[in-house]
Structure 1
Amino acid sequence: MESRSASSHGATYADVLDQRPDSARRHYDRSYDVLRTDSGPDADRLFTAWKEGRTGFPTIDGGPPAGYPAPVVDRQHERAEALVRLEAVRESSRRERGAH
């Protein structure tokens, strides 16, 4: 069986773990280490809103609910999660600049 590099298109997470076992506990891309993780009541409220499809962002809320079991929607769910991450980074950047 041909070995793929962890960064090659189509690599599975098992491939990544095989080549980069540290990625199980740390970011694969270390540039993400600078991102802050929110915690506390506000973070819990926002996370619950995301899980229940009540973020106020139709593109995100239109994704399948968190934990939806059907594999058919996995790609759609991944796209919705990517949009959530993008908005989180934008919001973090706004907070750092003092803008609201």
Structure 2
Amino acid sequence: MSIRLIGLLVLLLTLPVQGNAANTPCSGSKGGIARCDGPLFLCNDGSISGSKRDCSAERLGAGSTALRATGNLNGECPCGSGTLCTGPRGGQYCMTPSGTKSYRRK
């Protein structure tokens, strides 16, 4: 019976630690946050984070420059330039250094 009690105590002590764990923008294979692109988090792999948080509000010295959306469809909107392209169905994206589109979360 004391083994069950000890097991229960260990379980209860580890729950708050797991509850405090949270995902951060650009976590995992994205390599962390490189810098802000207006309200978006620009990741070290060149893509933009899908986070709904506002980078310029959270990071000191990040600036609050507004992103411009263009109707440009030929991919002249590199991530980090402050400009997002608008696709044919209204999605906004930037082009990563590897040539893929990184879409802004709606």
Q: TM-score, normalised by structure 1?
A: 0.26
Q: Which has the higher helix share?
A: 1
Greater relative contact order (Cα < 8 A, sep 6+): 2
Q: Which has the higher strand share?
A: 2
Q: TM-score, normalised by structure 2?
A: 0.25
